[in-house]
Amino acid sequence: MQKTCNNHWCQQSFEITDDDLVFYEKVSPVFNGKRELIPPPTLCPECRQQRRTAVTNQLNLYERKCDLTGSSIISNVHPDAPYKVYRQHDWHSDAWSALDMGRDYDFNHSFFEQWDDLCHSVPRPSLFVGYEFDENAAYTNHAGKNKDCYLIFDSDENRGCYYSYSLNSCQNCVDCFRVRRSELCYECIDCVRCYGSMYLQDCDNCHSSMFLKNCTGCSDCLMCSNVKNKQYCIENKQVTPEEYKRVRSLLSARSAIAQARMRFDALKLEFPQKYMHGMQNETVLGDYLVECKNAFQCFDSEHLWDCRYVFQGFMPLKSCMDIQECGDGELLYECAVTGYGAHASLFSHHTLASFSNLLYCSLCPHSKDCFGCIGMRRKQYCILNKQYTKEEYGVLVPRIIDHMRSTKEWGEFFPITSSTYAYNETLAQDYFPLPKEEVLARGWRWLDDTSKRDQYLGPVVELPEMIADTNDEMCKKILSCTSSAKQYKIIPQELAFYRSMNIPIPTKAFMTRHHDRMQQRNPRTLHHRTCAKCNDPIQTTYSPERPEIVYCESCYLQAVY
């Protein structure tokens, strides 16, 4: 079945397969023996993903007041946003009840209108973290079980890490992106089990190295690509330990590192790239997939089984579709930021921990059989935060679904207009960037930059070329990003890390550095092209006009091994 995206600015043609239709029927909820069928989507996969990412602000933090106690808190909800925000401890306490905000369903208004009204009444937690398991990690979000961490996001079980995104089980890592089980790493991207290294990408089990791409089991290597199980290599050539140490010693000044990066960017193009990043997969289409089976158009995920359009699946998922950042779940459809025991739930977001049969819910941990609820903990048979009996629930929900069919809301995820956040605060701006004028033209919110860039902050700070020339006074100064002009600071723990790694302090603010790292990864878009060696057709995130040499898996393995 071919359809055209309903968004007038898109109008892209997309396919609904027979397998898709079987899935929609499989996950459709049943009330009193009748299955309430979910209709096929009206938006193309890209617009559906954009809509899901627009409900999540991971990276922007603000200082504001707790609306319950008045205490100063750090939150990802802007202080000017028209929502109530409680401090973590207070939101999880018994000092308030979401049932107090409950209301009857009004069949004279659309569901999403009533949802918006409820959202403005129910408080939300200041951050989305496992705060009870954190220690000295106040400036983190979408994170948990972290200790002594600062400005890390989408990250769990880390120690002494700073300025990073999507870290897991790491220690003393700074300015990294999607790194796991690593220690003492700097500016590393998509790496696992690495140690004492910097400027690595797509590397596994490498240590004491610098500027590596697609390397495995390497140590004391510099400026190498596609190298396996080697020591003392420079530009893919074997050198003596003395020569390696001599060249490595030259890379401590900022200008020398910049020149080395330029050389490495050119060097990488001389070696083939595998058409996709991943391992131990069976029948998959996407990128950055590990141990997945029957995964179609999926990215940055592990342990998927019979899934389609999954992005950032952080734990196993089975029979799920249209997912953004979910894990440990089954039979989920159009969900974002959910998991840890999630079952048979639809059109819900920001809910973790043992839930099932949720429809159009948010922030409802340990709940089941709820419809259109927010902030409900350990509840069942609730609609718009009002308690019902099992029998009443089973009668009223089908009536609401019928009403939503008449308003063309049933089967649709929450509209971007109902997001807690402005569009440019969310992940949508990272993966579907739009100018302010276009965002406003579509009826979405935009948050203007209110930072005082013109405010006098003291004399211009000259950053030393080498960390050896940087004293402790640097932590008292306010620096200006050479790219965005935004102000930033160096914290003492960060300075100690740079000294231990013998690298100069950064000249850019964190958000600029983060977006620079994102630019080094391929977009989540697949293109048809042919293997540069055997000419077999492949689908890859390397677009045809890019300069990389792209091989199919068999040709790549022959070239590397």
Q: Give percent of the chain above pLDDT 90.
A: 96
Q: Within 10 A of 337 (CB to CB), how many other CB atoms are there?
A: 26
Is the pLDDT confidence value at 408 over 60?
yes
- 420 contact partners, CB below 8 Å, separation of at least 6: 55, 57, 77, 81, 83, 119, 124
Q: pLDDT tens digits for 85-123? A: 999 999 999 999 999 999 999 999 999 999 999 999 999
Mean pLDDT check: name the lowest of 301-315, 382-396, 438-452: 438-452
pLDDT of residue 455: 61
As separate numbers, helices (DSSP H) first and strands (DSSP E) second, the chain gives 12, 37
Of 304, 297, 298, which Cα lies nearest the Cα of 327?
Answer: 304
Q: pLDDT tens digits for 463-481? A: 999 999 999 999 999 999 9
- 370 contact partners, CB below 8 Å, separation of at least 6: 357, 358, 359, 361, 364, 376, 379, 380, 381, 382, 383
Mean pLDDT, to the nearest integer, of 518-537? 96
Q: For all residues of the chain together, what is the average pLDDT?
A: 96
Q: Judge contact between 264 and 211, C-beta under 8 A.
A: yes
Mean pLDDT, to the nearest integer, of 543-557? 96
pLDDT of residue 452: 56
Q: Judge contact between 12 and 44, C-beta under 8 A.
A: yes
Instruction: Write the DSSP assignment of 7-26 as a string of letters.
Output: -TTT--EEE--HHHHHHHHH
Q: pLDDT tens digits for 385-404? A: 999 999 999 999 999 999 99
pLDDT of residue 450: 65
Q: Which helix (H) or strand (E) holds 487?
A: strand 487-488
Mean pLDDT, to the nearest integer, of 397-416? 98
Strand partners, 339: 327, 352
By the 10 Å C-beta count (0-12 exposed, 13-18 middle, 19+ buried), 391 is classed as exposed
Is the pLDDT confidence value at 456 over 60?
no
How many C-alpha atoms does 282 have within 13 Å on its Cβ side?
4
pLDDT of residue 3: 96
Is the pLDDT confidence value at 446 over 80?
yes
pLDDT of residue 124: 96
